[in-house]
Amino acid sequence: MSAVRDIGGRDGQPSLARSLVAEALGTAFLLIAIVGSGILGERLAAGNAALALLANALATGAALYALIVWLAPLSGAHFNPLVTLVLALRGDIAPRAAGFYVPTQLAGAIAGVVIADAMFDMPLYTLSSHSRSGPSQWLSEFLVTFGLIGMVWTCSRLRPTALAGVVAAYIGGGFWFTATDFANPAVALARALTDTFSGIRPVDVPGFLAAEMLGALTAVLLFRWLVPDTR
Amino acid sequence: MSAVRDIGGRDGQPSLARSLVAEALGTAFLLIAIVGSGILGERLAAGNAALALLANALATGAALYALIVWLAPLSGAHFNPLVTLVLALRGDIAPRAAGFYVPTQLAGAIAGVVIADAMFDMPLYTLSSHSRSGPSQWLSEFLVTFGLIGMVWTCSRLRPTALAGVVAAYIGGGFWFTATDFANPAVALARALTDTFSGIRPVDVPGFLAAEMLGALTAVLLFRWLVPDTR
Amino acid sequence: MSAVRDIGGRDGQPSLARSLVAEALGTAFLLIAIVGSGILGERLAAGNAALALLANALATGAALYALIVWLAPLSGAHFNPLVTLVLALRGDIAPRAAGFYVPTQLAGAIAGVVIADAMFDMPLYTLSSHSRSGPSQWLSEFLVTFGLIGMVWTCSRLRPTALAGVVAAYIGGGFWFTATDFANPAVALARALTDTFSGIRPVDVPGFLAAEMLGALTAVLLFRWLVPDTR
Amino acid sequence: MSAVRDIGGRDGQPSLARSLVAEALGTAFLLIAIVGSGILGERLAAGNAALALLANALATGAALYALIVWLAPLSGAHFNPLVTLVLALRGDIAPRAAGFYVPTQLAGAIAGVVIADAMFDMPLYTLSSHSRSGPSQWLSEFLVTFGLIGMVWTCSRLRPTALAGVVAAYIGGGFWFTATDFANPAVALARALTDTFSGIRPVDVPGFLAAEMLGALTAVLLFRWLVPDTR
């Protein structure tokens, strides 16, 4: 989040460009991890869904940890429009930069899905037929996003160096303890474009986005009181 | 544990309220992790109990790590009445606060079970029919609680920043190396309310509570001598 | 390793007694983790040796991490006669203390095996019938001990706070990349007393002990040159 | 990378010799981890490729973490000719030292394969018959090497103490989210010498080397701009 101060401007390049490249890279790699390990997990597990999900969860958690530690000094490593919006709300990122972050994350996410499909010889993009809908899934998606935003809000102030491990453990574990574990609009939109293990039907995306936004909003309202901004 | 000094009172709100909300949140998420991953593990593993327990252990360990790092600055992240009582005994938390913590943890744990059941379309609460009893199980529960309280007593003084990782590794690993791995009266009571993978018959709860209390007491007696209080 | 300076003597108790209790506790818990997760893994995996070993490796690695971080401030967390001897050779622990450490570790290891067997309703002690012998196993045991002692020698000087994670990752991973992964005479002797997944026939123990001692000796000779003692 | 300053010359020994021994040791252990866990995974999983790869990925990730933390103070823990070349390009290692590092890594890697085969009673070396070729695999190998070099370039400057965890999580996870996950010419060459789970046909090695070199080159070009060298 302090990319501008740490890196920018030293050689006259606008630092926002650097942050955007890092943000696109990280979000692309995140989708490569989710979609790629989903494809290989399902392929090797030969019908054993528990094994496939175990591989999917471990690979995604490990990738998230590596990507956040790697790219946080360059862009803050949001990889998630809701994280960007929430941090913009608190003044941690300028509104103009946030306005560039969100489409960059979306583009990176879509690129990641295409690359993962290419690596595993799947069609580069197809609409998913994986149904994910209904009140229990929306509750799950509300809850997991609430937790993620609560963690980002709290740890980015009080435990910044631990944030990568916290997010990786929470999202990696969440593959098992929530029923959905997206918690990220860019991820939800991009996963509509792959008809593999980790896909989601386009028609189910709006419900997920609504649940995610509600979860993030609830987290902000609660954590503004729990963790007063005293920077 | 230093929530009062770090956070409290800045805006005139009583800091205990903040700690209690954090404690309820964390205990609820802990039960969501245990019960939710138990349900999904059992469902996907299709009869393979080793795979189900592997998912259960990894998800719970990962969640514990994230929850403790996240909420420790707000409430100390006890999530466990025995931890609260032991720290109250040593003077790390005021008796009045401890008196509020314990029912808050219990309420959070029950809420977590209900939410996990809802996320996975199970009945919101039912009495468990999962039998967990007998001397070998009580020995296991005594031992795992003894270890947990010994770790909390030692690390909260000598290695506070490592406590989250230590507890997560110990409890996550303990799914496999103990026969029980509850080590927490709030967890034991709440798990009586779900008839899923991680449930426990209500009639078996008192035996677990007794073993846990004896384990905690033994740990306090030994570690008062091993780690003299020299703060 | 600095137990004497950190803890000892504050209340007139001999600090060596504290170190010995911590060392016995840790070695007992280590064997509980190895043997207990071996029993439960084998029982739940129902013939799938890969799943049983996965549970065994993850539980042992996690336990090692927790035990070392927890008990290192009290005893140095050796849990291994060869570690104690090597550190005595370098002057990190007094010869008299080392002389007490070794039998304490052995007693703790045997107690751990008995407790693990009891937790899982197995005979408290029986001689193992698990054959582990032959040149390839001795090579493996030589190598894994060489690596462990090399890590302890190096990290205890140059990266002391990272030692717990290094040892846990190396031993946990070593369940898969070596054919044996004992690397500890107390563990080898105690594991002869349980006829379960992690046992070793008594007649095969001397070969393992010899390979371990040779591995430790080789490591000391090499690492005395690689990491000169410049404390 | 600061081996020369930290260790060298204190007793008149040339410090480069120490670095080379550490580099050979680490690369040998890395190949032992990859090849050994591949053999044992395949053997125990009895045809379940997902379980075998899970063991392979976890063991390799854990070993990488331990090896990098352990040996980084002695040699920088490159274990990879492309890492050495990239760091030489930036001036972090002298060209002469780099010229010795690369053949040392190759020799260590081959020794590791032979040792792993010996530990598991396989032929000490045989040419692999495991086909790994085609555009999607080259894309994967390009991408995984690009990411690895980008991480090393960034973290070795901005987050040096986190580099071991980042690389271990990325490579361990990459077993699942890339289709290849070599990212290392010494590893690719050595793995041609074992006809086991992790082998690669000699005829397929040049394609992997080309993809790796292109990935590393692309990473250097991009990250020279993203992370200006301001040491």
Q: Is B65 inside any structural domain?
A: yes
Average pLDDT, chain D: 93
In this model, does residue B215 exceed pLDDT 70? Answer: yes
Rounded CA gap, D106 and A134, in Å?
A: 55
CB contact (8 A) between residue D50 and residue A69: no
CA angle C221-C223-C228, nearest 5°? 110
In chain C, whose CA is at the least distance from the CA of D121? C136
Tens-place pLDDT, residues D169-209: 999 999 999 988 999 999 999 999 999 999 999 999 999 99
By three-state DSSP, how is residue C108 classified? helix
Show which subunits contact B, needing at least 3 CB pairs below 8 angstroms: A, C
Tell me the Ramachandran region of residue A48: left when phi exceeds 0, alpha when psi lies from -120 to 50, beta otherwise: beta
Degrees to nearest 5, angle at CA A30 with A140 and A153: 55
- Per-residue burial over C143-172, b = 16 or more CB atoms within 10 Å of its CB, e = otherwise: bbbbbbbbbbbbbbbbbeebbbbbbbbbbb
Task: Give the Cα separation of B71 and B2 in Å (integer).
Answer: 11
Residue-wise pLDDT tens digits, C159-182 = 999 999 999 999 999 999 998 899
> Closest approach of chain C CAs to the CA of D154, in angstroms?
22
> Distance between CA atoms of D84 and C193, rounded to whole angstroms?
48
The CA distance from A135 to the nearest CA of chain D, in Å, is 31
> What number of C-beta contacts closer than 8 Å exist between B and C?
119
Phi, psi of C218 (to 5 degrees): -60, -40
Specify if B11 maps to a domain.
no
Q: Residues with Cβ < 8 Å from A166, sequence gap 6 or more?
A: A151, A155, A159, B65, B66, B69, B70
Q: Which residues of D touch C169 (CB under 8 A)?
A: 62-63, 65-66, 168
* Facing residue for C119 by CB, picked from B140, B155, B166: B140
Nearest CA in chain C to D7: C227
* Contact: C18, B139; criterion CB under 8 Å: no
Interchain proximity B46–A50, CB inside 8 Å: yes
> Which residue from B minimizes the CA distance to C172?
B173
Residues in chain A: 231
Residue of A nearest to B60 (CA): A173
Which of B159, B172, B228 is opposite residue C69, by nearest beta carbon?
B159
Residues of D at the A interface (Cβ-Cβ below 8 Å)? 48-51, 53-54, 57-58, 61, 136, 139-140, 143, 147, 150-151, 154-155, 158-159, 162, 165-167, 169-170, 172-179, 222, 225-228, 230
- The mean pLDDT of chain B is 93
Nearest residue, CB atoms, C176 vs list D21, D29, D41: D41
- Reported ipTM: 0.94
* Inside any domain, residue A151: yes
Taking 60 as the threshold, does the pLDDT of residue D213 lie above it? yes
Q: Which residues of C touch B (CB under 8 A)?
A: 7, 10-11, 13, 18, 21-22, 25, 29, 32-34, 36-37, 40-41, 44-46, 48, 51-52, 54-56, 58-63, 65-66, 69-71, 73-74, 115-116, 118-121, 168
Q: Which of C16, C40, C60, C119 to mutate to test the interface with B (most CBs of B within 10 A)?
A: C119
Min CA distance, B140 vs chain C (Å)?
A: 6
pLDDT tens, D71-85? 999 999 999 999 999
The crossing angle, in degrees rounded to 10, of helices B163-177 and B135-158 is: 170
Judge whether residue C132 has pLDDT over 70. yes
Is D177 in contact with A116 (Cβ distance < 8 A)?
Answer: yes
Neighbours of chain C (3+ CB pairs under 8 A): B, D
pLDDT in tens, A146-157: 999 999 999 999
Asked whether residue B172 is domain-assigned, the answer is: yes
Residue C5 belongs to a domain: no
Q: Which of C19, C31, C39, C58 to mutate to test the interface with B (most CBs of B within 10 A)?
A: C58
Tokens of D22: 């550490």
pLDDT of residue B2: 38
How far is residue C213's CA from residue C149's CA, in Å, rounded to a whole number? 10
| pLDDT per position as a tens digit, C6-22 | 334 444 445 999 999 99
Confidence class for position C228, pLDDT limits 50, 70, 90: confident
- For residue D133, pLDDT over 50 is answered with yes
Chain C residues with beta carbon closer than 8 angstroms to that of B156: none
Residue with tokens 């020794």: D111
DSSP state for residue B67 in the 8-state scheme: H
Single-letter amino acid code for the residue at C36: G
Which residues of D are less than 8 Å from A61 in CB distance? Answer: 173
Q: How many domains does chain C have?
A: 1
| Short-list C205, C228, C172, C231, CA closest to C37 | C172
Residue C231 reports pLDDT greater than 60: no
Phi, psi for residue D10 in degrees, rounded to 5: -60, -40
**Residue D106: closest CA among D89, D87, D130, D84:** D84
Facing residue for A154 by CB, picked from B52, B65, B70: B70
Q: Which residues of D touch C159 (CB under 8 A)?
A: 69-70, 73
CB A119 within 8 A of CB D178: yes
Number of helices and strands in chain D (H, E) = 9, 0
Lookup: tokens for A108: 């990176």
Question: What chain B residue is nearest to C17 in terms of C-alpha separation?
Answer: B226
Does residue B2 form part of some domain?
no
Predicted local distance difference test score (pLDDT) of residue B9: 42
Q: What CA–CA distance (Å, rounded) separates C199 from C197?
A: 6
CB-based contact D170 A66, cutoff 8 Å:
yes
* Residue length of chain C: 231
Q: What is the pLDDT of residues D80-128, one digit of tens each?
A: 999 999 999 999 999 999 999 999 999 999 999 999 999 999 999 999 9
Residues of B in contact with C73 (CB under 8 A): 154, 158-159
Q: Does residue B231 carry a pLDDT above 90?
A: no
Tell me which residue range forms the domain holding D193: 16-226
Contacts of D121 in chain C (CB under 8 A): 136
**D60, D8, D38: which is closest to D128 by C-alpha?**
D38
Q: What is the pLDDT of residue C108?
A: 98
Taking only the tens place, the pLDDT of each residue in B138-178 is: 999 999 999 999 999 999 999 999 999 999 999 999 999 99
How far B11 CA sits from the closest chain A CA (Å)? 8
Cβ separation of A22 and D178 shorter than 8 Å? no
Q: How many CB atoms lie within 10 A of CB C90?
A: 15
State residue D189 phi and psi, 5-degree precision.
-65, -45
Residues ≥6 apart with Cβ < 8 Å to B175: B53, B56, B57, B60, B61, B181, C59
Two structure tokens written together for D80? 């990879």
Residue D47 buriedness (CB in 10 A; 0-12 / 13-18 / 19+): exposed
Please name the residue of chain D whose CA is at the shortest distance from the CA of residue A49: D50
Collect all residues of chain A within an 8 Å Cβ-Cβ radius of residue B28: none
Cα angle value A225/A230/B1 (rounded, 5°): 70
Contact assessment for residue B215 and residue B223, using Cβ atoms and an 8 Å cutoff: no
CA–CA dist C73, B159 (Å, integer): 9
pLDDT digits (tens, 9 = 90+) for C83-131: 999 999 999 999 999 999 999 999 999 999 999 999 999 999 999 999 9
- Other CB atoms within 10 A of residue C11 CB: 10
How high is the pLDDT of residue D4?
Answer: 36
For residue C147, list chain D residues with Cβ-Cβ distance below 8 A: 29
- Helix (DSSP H) and strand (DSSP E) numbers for chain A: 9, 0
In C81-204, where does DSSP find H-type helix?
Answer: 81-89, 95-119, 135-158, 163-177, 185-191
DSSP string covering B77-142, please?
---SHHHHHHHHHTTSS-HHHHHHHHHHHHHHHHHHHHHHHHHTT--S---------SHHHHHHHH
Q: Give me the helices (H) in D76-162, please.
A: 81-89, 95-119, 135-158
Q: Which pLDDT score, from 0 to 100, does residue D179 have?
A: 83
| Mean pLDDT of all residues in C128-141 | 95
> What are the tens digits of pLDDT across the range B30-41?
999 999 999 999
C191 within 8 A of C34, measured Cβ to Cβ: yes
Alpha carbon A158 to its chain centroid, in Å, reads 21
Q: Which residues of B touch C46 (CB under 8 A)?
A: 48-50
The pTM of this model reads 0.95
- Residue whose token pair is 């609830």: A218
Measured between alpha carbons, how far is A187 from A53 in angstroms, rounded to an integer?
A: 17
Please say if the pLDDT value at position D1 is more than 80.
Answer: no
**Which residues of chain A, if any, have pLDDT below 50?**
1-13
CB C34 within 8 A of CB C198: yes
**What angle do helix axes C205-226 and C81-89 make, rounded to 10 degrees?**
30
Distance CA D127, CA D118 (A): 15
Chain CA centroid to CA A118, Å: 21
**Residue B36: which of A155, A165, A178 has the nearest Cβ?**
A178
Partners for A (CB, 8 Å, 3+ pairs)? B, D
| Shortest Cα–Cα distance, B44 to chain A (Å) | 5
Tell me, yes or no, whether C3 lies in a domain.
no
Sign of CA dihedral D152, D156, D158, D164: positive
Q: Which residues of D touch A20 (CB under 8 A)?
A: none
Q: How many percent of chain C have pLDDT more than 70?
A: 93
CATH of the domain at A221: 1.20.1080.10
Report the residue of B177, B197, B230 to disrupt the C interface, i.e. the one with the largest count of C CBs within 10 Å. B177
- Cα(C7)–Cα(B211) distance, integer angstroms: 30
**Chains within contact range of chain D (3+ C-beta pairs < 8 Å):** A, C
Contacts of A85 (CB under 8 A, 6+ apart): A98, A102, A216
Q: Is residue A4 part of a domain?
A: no
Q: What is the DSSP letter of B181?
A: -
